[in-house]
Amino acid sequence: MGDLSELFKILSNTKRLQMLFILKESKKLSDIAKELKMPSPEVARNLKILHNADLVIKEEDKYKISNLANLIIENSLSFLEFIWRYKEIFTDHTLPLPKEFIYRLGEVGELQIIRGTIDGFNLSMRRFEKTRYYHFASAEKVLEGFVMPFVKLLKRGVNVRLVVSTKAIDELYRVSEEYPEIKNTRLKVRVRDEIPVTVLVDENSAEINIPFVNGKMDYGITFYSENEKYRKFAKDLFYYLWSDAKEIKI
């Protein structure tokens, strides 16, 4: 059985870690030295350490990461890299999600961090203007500034799905009475006791807000991206919340 402390010791060296990432494709020692701007003897020494740990394999005169190393990089290290990249956020924020979603954070690709509630709101409004096919959202409460934009989406024939906290049911009925035109549209609403994160996703992009460690949702930090991997992550997360929620008529 492998000793995890030994793995951390090996990967604590920045150069060795960089080697693993660039060796997803086979490379000669000289190419590694050139790419990492390292002396060849130093490259050789670190390659030997990685090889002895079964993290690198040698094929003739080229080196490549092993299947073991690939599993570590694609899963654990990618997740840890994500958390560390945004460590100033995760110092006082939490991720109240199932582990399968947390571990997938390393797969979501490039993100933008939108700071400030006003900038976050303006981002959402720009996104709504581009939505043509569907918009799915989770929310712990009805935010007044979002009501009219969602009404406009429904009037355009957009498929809208909302999963909200049971605490917001009265507010939903109030909105339904105030805007009767949303009835007989492509709106579906479900409720559940807890909404751990705020998710908004459509065919173009996605945004997610997470809570502070005290449980209060932070609308001043928005994780945003248009890339396909992030949209899929956000959509899967929405459907996780949707799957055990109770449908209501409004």
Question: Whole-angstrom Cα distance, residue 168 to residue 185?
Answer: 20
Spell out the domains of the chain, with CATH numbers in brackets.
4-74 (1.10.10.10), 86-248 (3.30.870.10)
Average pLDDT for 227-239: 98
Q: Using 50, 70 and 90 to split pLDDT, how confident is the model at 75?
A: low
Query: What residue has token string 């009219």?
Result: 148
pTM attached to this predicted model: 0.78
pLDDT in tens, 183-209: 999 999 999 999 999 999 999 999 999
Collect all residues with Cβ–Cβ distance below 8 Å to 108 and sequence separation of at least 6. 82, 225, 227, 229, 230, 233
Best CA proximity match to 202, nearest among 93, 129, 121, 148 = 129
**Do residues 167 and 237 make contact, with C-beta atoms less than 8 angstroms apart?**
no
Residues β-bridged to residue 64: 57
pLDDT at 20 over 70: yes
| Mean of the per-residue pLDDT values of the chain | 93
DSSP output for 79-102? HHHHHHHTHHHHTSB---S-HHHH
What is the percent of the chain with per-residue pLDDT over 70, rounded to a whole number? Answer: 98
Q: Using 50, 70 and 90 to split pLDDT, how confident is the model at 88?
A: very high
> Which residue would you say has higher pLDDT here, 47 or 73?
47
